[in-house]
Structure 1
Amino acid sequence: MSKAAPAGRERQFLGHPIGLTVLFLTEMWEMFSFFGMRALLVYYMTKRLDITQEYASLIYGAYAAMVYFTPVLGGLIADRWLGKRRAVVVGGATMALGHFMMASEPLFYPALVTIALGNGLFLPCLASQIEGLYREGDVRSKSAYNIYYVGVNLGAFLAPLVCGFLGEAYGWHWGFAAAGVGMLVSLVIYVAGLRHLPAEPARLAQVRETRSPMSHAARRQLFFLMGVAAIVVVFRGAYEQVGNTIALWADVGVDRQVTTAWSLPMAWFQALDPLVVFAATPLLVARWSRLAKRGVDTPSLYKMAFGAAVVGASYLALAGVATWTEARGVHAHWAWLVGWFVLMTLGELYILPVGLGLFGRMAPEGLRATCIAIWFFAGFFGNLLAGALGTLWSKLPHGAFFLVIGGVAGGSAALLLMLGVRVGRDQMRDNPAHATMASP
């Protein structure tokens, strides 16, 4: 891996290498396109294409799963042959094409496949460049992944407000076209900022390094990460209901009327998750930093277990609200859904950015894009599970459905806690990769 420039000579923005800003903005606009399309997808299938709810949930789950499956192949291709930079450019261009194809109804299924394939090259190769921006031991790298995660959520926040509004007010195709424009902006930012990103080693040298036998410690790290990814699959089965059954409940189970003349657009609720990320991330990072200075380092797995438990509790609360309103034949006030998003997102911040940083730091040298891809690969099986769970939406009362989802999230919390206990608190602290993630 190439060495970052000395801290005194590098160009910086807000105390971090300017390359992090390039990656931040590139990912922000890519997420704008992804979440803009996702905010419309279920509504488009059920309202425009007349697809049944159960089938639409399966399609949504299969598409979201492929978005997380293709990065495994894309990460391998980038690590061994194509290189991260070329992979991002090729992947971004392919995704932009897919988003514009969504504007044509006959190209609906080919468009989903095109976006998923482009994402396979783009997603792991962008995040895997973060580590190369910092010298070994640079304390700033501890918060880099959280800052990057804010970029992810900034795009996710803007997407439903823009693409969702255009889709609902002027036609679904306008929303999809706006998502395509966002992907093009992402690609332009990345190409313009290439000079600020870490240089890549020659392909042949990197391939030889990747194919050399891994040490015993590296194999243990890899198996550990695979175990964490397997548990995150269970968590994502609950978390990924946000764009699926939660979106459906916002349509049929929530009173969105604000005034007599105006009601909240359904897609706007999808902006609440990233909005809470903006507000809460600086507070959490500051708190973890203060605790670290006092010598209080909470292991990453314990943080992740806590986050999954909070998400589970949010679904249990929603189950109570849905059961109460169904029994009385009324709709839930929109404030209940807002409150759910706040609680759920607070839990999310303890598991998803922490997990991403854990994988980025523990990745064996020469396999960083591949290991980042393994993290996203958990989303493949997680979204398949979420799609399968989503089929229960039409078979169970809504309160009972949310109770099941809360149980799934709670189960993942228990598994993460058990793994943390098994690995051992002292061992996690002694491992440099673990220790740095204890207070991101």
Structure 2
Amino acid sequence: MSEVDNPPRERTWFGHPPGLTILFLTEMWEMFSFFGMRALLVYYMTKRLDIHQEHASLIYGVYAAFVYFTPVFGGVVADRWLGKRKAVIIGGVTMALGHFMMASEALFYPALATIALGNGLFLPTLASQIEGLYREGDPRSKSAYNVYYVGVNLGAFIAPLICGSLGEAYGWHWGFTAAGIGMLISLVIYLRGSRYLPPETVRIDTRQSASKPVDRETFRRLAFLVGVAAIVVVFRGAYEQVGNTIALWADEGVNRHVTASWSIPMTWFQSLDSLVVFTATPLLLARWTRLAKRGIETPWLLKMAFGAATVGLSYLLLAGVAAWAETHGARANWAWLAGWFVLMTLGELYILPVGLGLFGRMAPEGFRATSIAIWFFAGFFGNLLAGALGTLWSPLTHGWFFVLIGCVAGIAATLLYALGLRMGHVEKRENTGLATMLSR
């Protein structure tokens, strides 16, 4: 077969452009480093650095918040000056340095700041390259973000098993070092596979911005995305408890013994979220595809509302388990925590990857990385809220704390549902609503 018959740009790996595999693997190892460090962070602060729980939860929340705050500026810098490739490389090197700095107790706070700064350049610019892999109208682009999200969670699944085990068994610093090595692997994959990625587009400079002002459609889309992000802030206040108070409950309130001589390491539970993601995602995508072929397609915002409601329900069920255990002066069986992770993650799949896809597809031309950054910016305020809520872990009983978190997720579900219904009316009246824009 000649090169004309089968041009390089038409090659596929696993049914998608090769570049998606490169981005998948790059993000997988970056998430290995991030979640490997995150699995250890609260335990490291409370057990090694002797930081009180309320203070440790607040530090965790502020750090996680800035992990999502810095991409707002990183996306703008990549769009306007550096370009995506340079931004990913500079960000990745900076993050690797920060992870290795975590091996020194004296550099704890500078290390957290270094990781957050590097993440600001790395995170939005990597995800923003997905849309450029597909031609306009390519149906595969609709599932690309879900495939990418599997890569995110594959790295997050492996990380606690390796970094967490090293940290618990041999010392926290060994776990942090493993996270830094994962970041270096991510960079090597990106550099070796960069030829498969979309070419750099002409960046917007100050003179271009002055000659081409933001039009009404661009402003309308960005304003809508900001509104959705504001609601996601509330949801993340509940969701981001996974590495914070849920990790503390796994240590304090859960009987992790499987046999008389072996108990489940506390960090391993954080792998369950990711395990459910990459096992359940193909099933959900197949179901959504079957429904779409029958003409049944749930609006994206209503999917997100269902996801937030499911997460809220999972916390309320966990509240019942925790309250029963406290009443009887016992620890909850580890199977309850495992079951909670399954239900919570099923809800997560209806909101986080769906929301990322919504932001990627609605992004105005020339503002793609900036739009993706807005999505991650919701994580900034969401993690600040999660950290603030985490300070109530010690004053409240575990049962009442989980009731509170379930209500927070329920508020987000209500707001997303209301906005979804409103956008449906706009779509019917003007035929230019959300679904029309997303189908372009």
TM-score grouping bracket, smaller chain normalisation = over 0.9
In structure 1, runs of 5+ residues without a counterpart are 1-5
Structure 1 residues 6-405: aligned runs within 5 Å: 9-203=9-203, 208=208, 212-405=212-405
Is 1:316–1:406's contact at 8 Å kept on the other side of the alignment?
Answer: yes
* Post-superposition offset of 1:79: 0.6
CA distance, structure 2, for counterparts of residue 344 and residue 274 of structure 1? 11
Contact kept in structure 2, 1:231 and 1:412, CA below 8 Å: yes
Q: Distance in 2 between matches of 1:405 and 1:417?
A: 19
Specify the alignment match of 1:413 in structure 2.
413
Instruction: Please give the alpha-carbon distance, in whole angstroms, between the structure 1 residues aligned to 2:179 and 2:295.
Output: 45
Instruction: State the 1:423 CA deviation.
Output: 1.8
Contact kept? 2:427, 2:436, Cα under 8 Å: no
Kept in 2: contact 1:124–1:373 (CA 8 A): yes
Q: Tell me by how many angstroms 1:237 deviates.
A: 0.1
Is the Cα–Cα contact under 8 Å of residues 299 and 425 in structure 1 kept in the other structure? no
Alignment-derived partner of residue 3 in structure 2? none
Q: Secondary structure at the match of 2:241?
A: helix
| 1:83, distance to aligned residue in structure 2 (A) | 0.5
Distance 1:56 1:29 in 2: 26
The farther-off stretch of 419-428 and 399-408 is 419-428
> Matched residues in 1 for 2:46 and 2:437: separation?
46
Residue 427 of structure 1, CA deviation: 1.1
**CA distance change for structure 1 residues 435 and 290 in 2, over 3 Å: closer, same or farther?**
farther
> What secondary structure does 1:394 align onto?
coil
Equivalent residues of 1:142, 1:436 under 8 A apart = no
Distance in structure 1 (CA, Å) of the matches to 2:347 and 2:210: 36
Alignment-mate amino acid for residue 190 of structure 1: Y
CA separation in 1, counterparts of 2:336 and 2:432? 42
Query: Could you say if the C-alpha distance between residues 89 and 262 of structure 1 is closer, same or farther in structure 2, counting changes exceeding 3 Å?
Result: same
Alignment of 1:434 onto 2:430: no
Deviation at 1:215, TM superposition (A): 2.2
> C-alpha displacement at 1:380, in angstroms?
0.1
Task: Assess, with a 3 A threshold, how the Cα gap between structure 1 residues 209 and 361 changes in structure 2: closer, same or farther.
Answer: farther
Q: Is the 8 A contact 1:362 1:434 kept in 2?
A: no
Contact in 1 for aligned 2:423/2:433 (Cα 8 Å): no
Whichever residue aligns with residue 221 of structure 1, its letter is R
| Secondary structure at 1:424 match in 2 | helix
Shift in Å, 1:120: 0.1
| SS of corresponding position for 2:290 | helix
- The verdict on how the C-alpha distance between 1:91 and 1:226 changes in structure 2, with shifts beyond 3 A counting, is same
Q: Deviations over 1:150-200 (max 9, x none)?
A: 000000000000000000000000000000000000000001111000001
Amino acid in structure 2 at the alignment position of 1:25: L
Distance of 2:115 and 2:276 partners within structure 1: 27
Distance 1:329 1:181, change over 3 A: same
Counterpart CA distance in 2 for 1:417 and 1:167 is 42
Q: Is the 8 A contact 1:142 1:437 kept in 2?
A: no
Q: What residue in structure 2 maps to residue 3 of structure 1?
A: none
Gaps of 5+ in 2: 1-5
Deviation of 1:424 after TM superposition, in Å, equals 2.0
- State which drifts further: 378-387 or 423-432: 423-432
TM-score (norm 2): 0.96
Deviation per CA, 1:401-426: give whole Å up to 9, x if none. Answer: 00000000000000001111122256
Q: Which amino acid aligns with 1:365?
A: E
8 Å CA contact 1:210, 1:367 repeated in 2 = no
Q: Any idea what SS the aligned residue of 1:241 has?
A: coil
Aligned residue pairs total 434
1:65 CA displacement: 0.2
C-alpha distance in structure 2 between counterparts of 1:138 and 1:113, whole Å: 40
Q: Look up the equivalent residue of 2:313 and give its one-letter code.
A: A
Instruction: Give the deviation of 1:214 after TM superposition.
Output: 2.1
Q: Which amino acid aligns with 1:193?
A: G
Deviation string, structure 1 residues 278-300 (Cα, Å, up to 9, x no partner):
11100000000011111111100
